[in-house]
Structure 1
């Protein structure tokens, strides 16, 4: 890998600010065209210019209004089952959330949240076997989701920024709903009891949330605590942790604000 000194970078920026083309600057200084493009992007961002001609303003960089409820839900989806990546051939990173075809309503809710949080950005669905990847493209994704980083989420710290925590505190149910819709579920358990000499079957609903990241589990349970939801951790041998909500009053609250996937 070649490293270029600050003097080379400054010469490149001087030429670029003078109107020179990226390719001409790269050829003149012997620097890869991609490096020149990256330097130009950072320079424009530092000077307050839009980082992309077609990229709408960012709620963090430009102060654009942000729908907090939709963002809280999308944040839950991202932490549970989403990731930000950049594919070869695409200059703009994308947030991708995989949604099973079993729950088309969840897929619609995910796409709707993306369009509200990123109005004007490109949103699409990519068909896969048994599911769709719902995507939104924006250069400002790392600004809006600062938890993004190399490696898997459970292999690095996941801590909300102060502004994110304020949004979750204002819209906790949207956050819980996003987490349940991504890595959780509502099921119906059953048991039998002997009543007056006769064995009867009883059914009762409960919620589960499973994740491998201890930090994401903590964000989930801390929010449940603030909402007055009783929960417990299930004993299991695998690395992932499962949180169960089974108390009748707590399940009723979850039903009122979250509900099953659909």
Structure 2
């Protein structure tokens, strides 16, 4: 990696401040255009001219009104397939919700929720193999998602703050919908019975929620209890990672407020 002296950098900044284009400065000094762009960005930030240096107001830090319906849904998505990363202390943290390409409507709903919760932040979609990460950057992600921490979610304690629990209690179906849209599904099971000597096939819908974290499963089942939805555990390789909703009345409630992914 080539190191450029202070005098070279200062010469480049002088040209940039006088209105020279990045490409022209790069050609004149024989320095990569990306380096020139970075020097310009840092210089503008130090002088208070960088438009992206200030994060929009935060509901927790500045008292901005929070769209609680969208937040309850986004919280469910985050606890399931969400991740907050910060590659270094000098970079702004980013929130990523991974959505499979099979459910474009889910991707749209996720992006809509992000924009409602963070109205002043840009949201983008990053294409991956078979999925896309719906993504945004904010300095206040840790304020709104205090569950973030080192390690995998199922290897550490996950608990809602009192203010988060109050939002979930006020908008429980949005929270359940977010969890199902991230780590759940609606499927059709079938079985056969002999009726009057004839073997008949019967089909019935069922909801599954699968998560390794016992704390996150507890948040899901606790909210279902509050809503009057009956559920059971289904062991997976001897471990109760799956929560099933199969009772007809409970499935009808889930269909009315959640429904299949789309």
Considering the TM-score relative to the shorter chain, is it more than 0.5?
A: yes
Output the CA distance in 2 between the equivalents of 1:238 and 1:149.
Answer: 28
Measured after TM superposition, the shift of residue 197 of structure 1 is 1.4
Aligned residues: 212
Gaps of 5+ in 2: 1-51
> Which whole-Å deviations, capped at 9, do the CAs of 1:84-133 have from their partners, x for residues lacking one?
00236972111101000000000000000000000010210000111000
> Which whole-Å deviations, capped at 9, do the CAs of 1:150-205 have from their partners, x for residues lacking one?
11111111010000000000000000000000000000001111112111111100
Output the CA distance in 2 between the equivalents of 1:155 and 1:60.
Answer: 27
On the 8 A contact 2:233/2:240 being kept in 1, the answer is no
Output the CA distance in 1 between the equivalents of 2:149 and 2:81.
Answer: 15
Output the CA distance in 1 between the equivalents of 2:236 and 2:108.
Answer: 33
1:72 equivalent in alignment to 2:72: yes
1:109 equivalent in alignment to 2:109: yes
Gaps of 5+ in 1: 1-51
On the 8 A contact 1:231/1:246 being kept in 2, the answer is yes
For the structure 1 residues 140 and 240, does the alpha-carbon distance in structure 2 shift closer, same or farther, using more than 3 Å as the test? farther
TM-score relative to the length of structure 1: 0.78
Secondary structure (helix, strand or coil) at the match of 1:134 reads: strand
Output the CA distance in 1 between the equivalents of 2:159 and 2:88.
Answer: 29
Output the CA distance in 1 between the equivalents of 2:107 and 2:222.
Answer: 27
Match of 2:132 in 1: 132
Output the CA distance in 2 between the equivalents of 1:116 and 1:125.
Answer: 16
TM-score relative to the length of structure 2: 0.78
Output the CA distance in 2 between the equivalents of 1:188 and 1:248.
Answer: 12
Output the CA distance in 1 between the equivalents of 2:189 and 2:99.
Answer: 24
Counterpart mapping for 1:1-262 below 5 A? 53-87=53-87, 91-237=91-237, 239=239, 241-262=241-262
For the structure 1 residues 61 and 89, does the alpha-carbon distance in structure 2 shift closer, same or farther, using more than 3 Å as the test? closer
Secondary structure (helix, strand or coil) at the match of 1:73 reads: helix
> Which whole-Å deviations, capped at 9, do the CAs of 1:48-101 have from their partners, x for residues lacking one?
xxxx73310000000000000100000000001101002369721111010000
Output the CA distance in 1 between the equivalents of 2:62 and 2:230.
Answer: 40
Measured after TM superposition, the shift of residue 236 of structure 1 is 2.3
Secondary structure (helix, strand or coil) at the match of 1:234 reads: strand
Larger gyration radius, structure 1 or structure 2: 2
On the 8 A contact 2:110/2:134 being kept in 1, the answer is yes
Measured after TM superposition, the shift of residue 220 of structure 1 is 0.3
Output the CA distance in 1 between the equivalents of 2:222 and 2:245.
Answer: 14
> More deviation in 193-202 or 55-64?
193-202
Root-mean-square deviation (CA, aligned residues, Å) is 1.6
